[in-house]
Amino acid sequence: MTKIKVIFEDTELLVLDKPAAIVVNKSDTTRGETTLQDWVEKEFKIQNSEFRISKEIKGKDKYEEQAKLNFVSRAGIVHRLDKETSGIILVAKKPSAFINLQKQFKERKVKKTYLALAHGRIDPPEGEINVEVGRLPWNRKRFGVLSGGRGAVTHYKVIKNLKLKIKNFQEGLSLVELYPKTGRTHQIRVHLQYIKHPVFSDPLYAGRKTSKADRKLLPRIFLHASGISFYHPGTNKLMSFESPLPEDLQNFLQQLSD
C-alpha cells in the first residue's frame, strides 16, 4: 500500500494526505484491496470488533447514537474522496470529534479547495456553477445535472492557461482552483462537465474517446484536494491545512507549455 502521510495529529483528529488509487471506505466491492479505512483501523485501533460505544449514550439521543455508530463503522473517517482523487481527508479519533466535524460539514463551516486540470480554456476565468446534481436513473454509478437533484454550488478560479502539444495536435487546458460550497458526490467532476470543460483523464465524465486519449498520458484523474479549513472540535480554533500537488500531477504539468 502506498504510504499515507499524516499532516497533523492530536488527541481529537487526524489530517491525512490520501494518495490516488486508494479507496476510502470498505465495502463489498473492495474485498481483496486495502482501503484507507483498513489502514486507519490498523494504525489507530478504531475497529468494529474492538471499539464499543459506551452505555451512557444509549437512548440519550437517537441522532447522536447513530452518529457514534457511524464513527465506528467508518473508523472515524469524516468525509470521502473518490478513489483516484488525492489530497486532504479528515479522520476523527473520538466520537465527539466525529459528530462535531460532521456538523461543521452540514453547516458548511468546512471550506475545501481542489485543484483540477480541465479541458479547454474556461471563460470567464472566475465564476460560480450552481446546478442541481443527482444520481443518473439509467446508470447508478454516475451522477449528472438533474432537475430534482440536490442543490450544488461550486466557485472556481482559473490559475493558469496551458497547452497540450502532441505531434500536430494542440489543445488548450485550464489549471483551475475550485471551492465547492456543497459536498455532493462527484460534484466538481459533474459541474466541470456541465460547463463543457471536463477534468483531464476523468474516466466517467470526460467522454469515452477523450478519456481514453487522456489516460495514455496520465493514468489517473487530475483532481487533488489541496486545502481545507475547519474549527478544531476541541478548542474551536480555526485550522487550515494544505497539500501540495503529488509528484505524478506535478510531472504532468511540466510537460505542458504556457
CA 162 to chain centre: 24
Q: Which three cell numbers stand for residue 158?
A: 482559473
Site of grid cell 436513473? 137
Among 82, 123, 214, 258, which one carries the catalytic annotation?
82
The phi and psi torsions of 37 (rounded to 5 degrees) equal -60, -40
CB contact burial 17-53 (16+ within 10 A = b; e otherwise): bbbbebbbebeeeeeeeebbbbbbbeeeebeeeeeee
**Is the link from the previous residue into 124 a cis peptide, with omega within 30 of 0?**
yes
Longest CA–CA separation in the chain, Å: 69
Catalytic residue list contains 82 = yes
Which has the closest alpha carbon to 123: 185, 195, 191, 193? 195
Site of grid cell 490498523? 42
Q: Which residues contact 190 (CB under 8 A, 6 or more apart)?
A: 133, 143, 144, 145, 152, 184, 205
Euclidean distance between CA atoms 209 and 81, whole angstroms: 25
Any idea which residues carry the catalytic annotation? 82
